[in-house]
Structure 1
């Protein structure tokens, strides 16, 4: 063990780095308890400086934790992503228009793919990323591509909060919410950590409640829209049925009117035929009367003439 001049043993760089690497992929709710456990182990092993470094570690935001988890869990993809960022920055500096266009298209697809992977890893670890947190992860990845300093910070796997990409990529430094602390900053106390953790938990809970409220409002809006569509379809169906019934009624009325006209024509024809038959009957009766009269007259004449002859 190396001993400093003041008699305090130096830390084991490899051990503390391993501890910090583990700590920054620990889910945020368990961060404080795990940090205390690792610091206690280091102090118990005589590594006082390591214990101090571990206790000085700040709990990462949910987005920063997801970005750290992505780097540790997908090392090959992360290395390729860092290489893409370097190539993209070089292309901008060299004003290679074709290279910039090709790499920019690749950038969008890779950022989207890695963001999905980060969300899947977080979900597997028991923490579903809300839409705002996922956007912070995407912003962090865009910052890594745009800015060399941001890329170096992500490559450590120890982000404490999300990164923001520069507005004029790539000529400026990324604006970061996780500003580096002074090396001389004193370690945070457990009380401060607990207060900070409660504050973060409350903020996350409020954000989650807001997301759930927005989701409910969206579902209610969709339900109202679906009900309105259903009511509109019902109204259209009733209107169509009414039009069909009206069409059938009009067709029936036209058919009835046609039958009425036909019946009237038949009646008039029958009346004409009846009048003609009555006329024929009268004419026949008149003929019978004339014939009878003529027969009587003839019989009388015969009788009269017969009487003369005797």
Structure 2
């Protein structure tokens, strides 16, 4: 077996003497420009947002060390990574980790995840009969398909005079495990489930499927958060970045379903900001990653859960159905396995 290295360095650790003359010339930079150890993109995103907490949301009774351990970062794109840190080693069934100093030096990283989130929403929309018409309407209005779906849902809620938009999905339930379940049941054989299909091929019905899918993804995140908290974490604040974080409906549904405020960073490109934090530490501009994060991270919008008790009651009921869909699937799987013996 060939070794690729013998030393392990913290993120942001300066390497060698910086850029060589050849590398500097190719990059258009100066020779000797500091080069630091890097992170995978999701972890860099975590470094780019973990300290993006406005003063109003900070907890004065907690030390910085305790406060950062109450947060979970959601890097929401094609898939979603759920990252939280702790000072103590927490082994959580079905969740990756704990990894020592994998994201923030001297903290243990817990990393949950959903393998298909943005990819699942694309699949639901693109494979519906109304997709071509919807795409044409979106193009004519110079908006994205998802912005148009959000507008359709708002219009439907107004037309039906329902108490809150989420209630549109009362007859439609989605288990989003179309690509297995990464966390917290860690079941690669799990399949997606849609309960409540009809023969309706309209844009409005596609909007309902889209809403129910967003909610299914959010129930999955709630499951991850509850599972992590049951095994030692104390997560009560979420920070979100990535493409899906730009979808206001997606973020509001997550806040309502999980019951936590969701903080969006001021910077749109959190992964690049995280990489910049590492570079700043390697260049000795800061004493460490945490100091650099506190200086370079900045909060944008904060999305709070609905204060309407009916919204919580509604999502608690749908969450029970969400959990039961997987339990039913296990029962069905067992029944068929016995039939094939």
Query: How does the TM-score come out when normalised to structure 1?
Result: 0.30
Q: Which has the higher strand share?
A: 2
Question: Higher relative CO (CA 8 A, sep ≥ 6), structure 1 or 2?
Answer: 2
Q: Which has the higher helix share?
A: 1
Q: Max radius of gyration: which structure? A: 1
